[in-house]
Structure 1
């Protein structure tokens, strides 16, 4: 569905991503993991059209994304849930959701979004309870649910999720990731997931890529990456060589 080939991305003279190639198949959850500054967010920014590649090709469902405008990319079927959630704080929960359907209501198309709102409220009952509340007064987990639901209001086929667990308690992160799996299973949604909590991301993903200083250094099935010693040592907080050494006698 999504295919990147030899993509280069730069901020002025600083090259952030170097010749990255990856693909995400329809109905997959693919995790992109790596340390801060590896280029993960930059890559999602480019896919959603907010940054132009310095080189390479980006394709979605056979169409060329490389020079498309962000609104056209949304209409093509890709929605981006940005790092930090970026909900409109003074606006109500429901008004935030309605903004998510803006691309579907343009150009004179009269589409009733009430069914879509009801579906979001069924999926995220807490948003229904708080629909008249200012988005800025929600908890971090509720704001993340709102950001995801707002993106879904555009009826995407693919969701770009940037650090959905950032700043959230482990139990809340687990709930958010459960929703991500439900979206894939119930709606057939395709997900490209950027997440620093590599263990949590790989546990729900089908496949994964490891990005380091702007380059893909490793890829594979999620289970294989979870079992990989280098990944465990660098991103999962474990040193298996040390764990398997016999304890020193005191």
Structure 2
């Protein structure tokens, strides 16, 4: 469904990602793990058109989107849940959700948008109970649910999730990752998730890639990466063994 071929990403003189190649098949959950500054967020923002690569090719469903605008990429079925949630804090929860369907507004789409809103509320009941509140009054976990719900309102076929557990308590993080699995198992979405909590990401993913200083150094089934001693030493850590 999604293929990156030899992608180079620069931020000024900084070569953030170096000839990275990866693929995500329809219906897969794929994890991209690595430390701070590895280039994970740069990879996602480049896929979604927020940053232009300096080389390489990005293909979505056989269509070259390397130079496509972000709104065009959303219309092609790819939604991005950014690092730090980026909800519109002064606005009501429901208004945030409806903004996710901005490209679908029109008389013919009103019923479908209302239906999708109900589906989001079914998946995240807490958002329904807080629908008239300002988004900034929600907890971190609730804001993450809101960010995912907003992305779902675009009716995507694929989601990019950037650090969904960032700043969340362990129990809340586990709940968010249960929802990520539900997005695939119940709704058939394809997911590429960037995450520093490597163990949690690999447990929910089918396959994974390890990005280190801008280069993909390892890839394979999640079970193999979880058992890889280099991955354990660098990214899993003894403090996560009790999870």
CA contact (8 A) 1:90 1:136 kept: yes
Give the equivalent residue in structure 1 for 2:139: 139
Give the equivalent residue in structure 1 for 2:97: 97
1:81 corresponds to 2:77: no
1:199 corresponds to 2:199: yes
Give the equivalent residue in structure 2 for 1:9: 9
What does 1:33-112 align with in structure 2 at a 5 Å threshold? 33-105=33-105, 110-112=109-111
What is the Cα-based RMSD across aligned positions, in Å? 1.2
SS in 1 for 2:208: strand
Please list the CA deviations of residues 127-167 of structure 1 after superposition, one character each: whole Å capped at 9, or x if unmatched.
Answer: 00000000000000000000000000000000000000000
Q: Distance in 2 between matches of 1:54 and 1:111?
A: 40
CA contact (8 A) 1:48 1:79 kept: yes
Normalization by structure 1: what TM-score?
Answer: 0.93
Which stretches of structure 1, 4 residues or more, deviate above 4 A after TM superposition? none
What does 1:150-169 align with in structure 2 at a 5 Å threshold? 150-169=150-169
User: Aligned pair count?
Assistant: 238
Q: Distance in 1 between matches of 2:109 and 2:203?
A: 41
Give the equivalent residue in structure 2 for 1:243: none
Normalization by structure 2: what TM-score?
Answer: 0.96
Q: Distance in 2 between matches of 1:213 and 1:110?
A: 44
SS in 1 for 2:16: strand
CA contact (8 A) 1:75 1:104 kept: no
C-alpha deviation, 1:111, in angstroms: 3.6
Give the equivalent residue in structure 1 for 2:127: 127
- Give the unaligned 5+ runs of structure 2: none
Q: Distance in 1 between matches of 2:142 and 2:161?
A: 15
CA contact (8 A) 1:3 1:60 kept: yes
Give the equivalent residue in structure 1 for 2:228: 228
Q: Distance in 2 between matches of 1:169 and 1:10?
A: 33
Q: More displaced, 230-239 or 130-139?
A: 230-239
Q: Distance in 2 between matches of 1:97 and 1:129?
A: 14
SS in 1 for 2:155: coil
SS in 1 for 2:26: coil
C-alpha deviation, 1:105, in angstroms: 1.9
SS in 2 for 1:187: coil
C-alpha deviation, 1:9, in angstroms: 0.3
SS in 1 for 2:31: strand
- Give the unaligned 5+ runs of structure 1: 240-250
C-alpha deviation, 1:14, in angstroms: 1.0
Give the number of the structure whose alpha-carbon radius of gyration is greater. Answer: 1
Please list the CA deviations of residues 170-209 of structure 1 after superposition, one character each: whole Å capped at 9, or x if unmatched.
Answer: 0000000000001100111000000000000000000000
Q: Distance in 1 between matches of 2:172 and 2:238?
A: 23
SS in 2 for 1:201: helix
